[in-house]
Every structure is written in C-alpha cells, then in structure tokens.
Structure 1
Amino acid sequence: MARRLRPVGIEFVETAPVRLVFAREISAPPGAVFHALAEDVAGWAGWFSAVTLARPVDDGARREIRLRGGTRFEESVLVATSPEVYAYRVDVTNAPGLRALVEEWRLTAAGTGTRVQWTFAADGTPPLRLALRLARAGLGLAFRDAVTTLDRRLAAR
C-alpha cells in the first residue's frame, strides 16, 4: 500500500536521523555524470542494478522509480544544479516504516574525472532506522557497483 511521506527540503540531507554517505572517484567528467543522473532518468535501469524502471514525470520535475523486489517511489526533484548537485525527495512509497527520504548526488571535479558522493538521508520507525544502519555495507556495495557501471557506460559512448 502506497503512503505519502513527510515533505522535507534539501536541508534534510544534513539533519536526517539516518545519513549514509558514500563516495567514489570515476573517470567520467562531471557534466556527463550529471546528464546521466538528471537528464537521462530512464537510463538509470541500465547502470543501477536495483532499479527496474525509472522515468521522468512532469518534464523532469518528478520521477517514478521501481526497484527489484517491488518497492516503488514517486519523487520530486529538489535540486538540479548542473554539473554539481542532483537531489530528490520521496513523496510516496510502498516501503514500510519510511517517513521521509532525500537522496543527494554531489559531483566534484577530480582531475579529469569526477568524485561522486551519494547521501541517503532518511527517517522512519525505529526498526527501519536500525535496518538502514545495518544495511550500510550493502548500500555502499550497490553504490560502488552502480557508479562503476555508469563510468563504463559513459566511457563506451
């Protein structure tokens, strides 16, 4: 059953009860990475293995995301500042226990490549908070795999 989450702003990235931050350097330039994140939303399913469907809604102001296992998200884009920051808030989801979620992708030039930092900022019931903290290693692995796949995909273009 889909539920509406608490509407939070970009500041939630710094104040959320659960903040998971992951970073990795890749060879693709920031502009290409930003394009893949913010402008080629449908392409997410090709490089982020957990994503089975990603599509922009309302001319890119919102997104619909489906994950393996059946989790669904309706999201609003909070920040799309090329080529530095792309962030979105989950507005509606079927994920149990979740109360608020913002994800921020921060891109910084690193030589000829990009340092990609992903912040997963969430609030939820106490069991969900614990589960997210315990899932840190798995989410980190998913991030590393996704960013590595994205880098290969961008290099092939």
Structure 2
Amino acid sequence: MARRLRPVELDFLDSAPVRLVFTTTMRARPAAVYQALAEDVTAWGTWFPAVSWARPTHGGAGREIKLRAGVRFGETILAADPAERYAYRVDTTNAPGVTALLEEWRIDPGGDGSRVRWVFATDGPPPVRRVLRLLRPGLGRSFRSATRNLDRRLGPPRRPGG
C-alpha cells in the first residue's frame, strides 16, 4: 500500500541525512542523456535494469515508477534543466521506512561526452538510515549498469582500436 512521504525541495540534496552520490562518464552528449532521462520516461525499463516500467504523469510534471522488486514510486519533477539537470521527489511509495526521498541527475559536458552524477538523498528513522547506507554498493552497481546500458543505446559507436 502506497504511503505519502514528507515533501522536500531541492535544498534536501544538501541536507539529507543519507546522501549517496555516484558519478560516471558517458560517451553520449549531455543533450542525449537529458532527453533519455527526462523526456523518454517510458524507455527507462529498457536501460535501467532495476526499473520494470515507468510512465509520465500530470502532463510530464510527475512520474510513476515500478521497480522489478515490486517497489513503486509516485514522483514530482522538481528540476528539468535541459542537458544539465533532472531532479524528482518521491511523494508516495510502498517502500517501508523511508520518510523522504529526492534524486538528482546532474549532466555536465566532459571531453567528447558527458559526466553524469546521481544523488540519492533520503531520510528515515535511524535503523532505516543504516540500511540505506548499507545499500550503497548495490545502488552504485545499479547506477553503473544503467549508465553503461544507456551509453550503449545513445553513444556513438566506438572507433576501431579506440
């Protein structure tokens, strides 16, 4: 059963009790990465292994996400800055214990491609915070797998010998 989380704003990215940050480089250009994140929401399940399905809601101002593990999120988009940043707050979820959750994807030009940073900012009671911190390695693997898949989907083909 979905329950409502505490509404947080973008400043929660810096003040969250649990803040997990992951970065990678991609061959794809920032505009293509942004388009895949923010505009092609229904395709998330094709490149992000943890996502079963995704769909935009409220005319693109929100999203519904279902993970393969059965966890669901109802989200509100807080920042959609083309080729730079995409951030959303989780408003409702069936995940136990979490009281607030905000995610930000920051996209910067890097060489011939992009540098991508994902911030997972969350809160919950102390035992939940400990568990969330223990999830860091798994979330990191999920992020790296997703960005590799997305890069293969978006990036230019590798040159022979390159």
TM-score, normalisation: structure 2: 0.95
Measure the CA separation in 2 of the matches of 1:145 and 1:137.
12
Higher Rg of the two aligned structures: 2
Equivalent in the alignment of 2:53: 53
Deviation for aligned residue 1:69: 1.4
Identity across matched positions, percent: 59
Give 1:156 shift.
6.8
Give the CA deviation at 1:39: 0.1
2: distance between equivalents of 1:126 and 1:41? 33
Counterpart CA distance in 2 for 1:92 and 1:135 is: 20
Partner of 1:7: 7
Q: Which residue of 1 aligns with 2:69?
A: 69
Paired position in structure 2 for 1:128: 128
SS of equivalent residue, structure 2 residue 55: strand
Gaps of 5+ in 2: 158-162
Q: How does 1:59-138 map to 2 (within 5 A)?
A: 59-138=59-138
Count, aligned residues: 157
Could you tell me how far apart the structure 2 residues matched to 1:102 and 1:10 are?
8
Unaligned runs of 5+ in 1: none
- In the aligned structure 1, how far is the partner of 2:15 from the partner of 2:57? 28
Question: Which residue of structure 2 lines up, in the alignment, with residue 23 of structure 1?
Answer: 23
Q: CA deviation at 1:27?
A: 0.2
Structure 1 residue ranges (4+ consecutive) displaced by more than 3 angstroms after TM superposition: none
Aligned mates of 2:113, 2:26 — CA distance in 1: 6
Following superposition, the deviation at residue 56 of structure 1 comes to 0.3
Cα shift at 1:126: 1.5
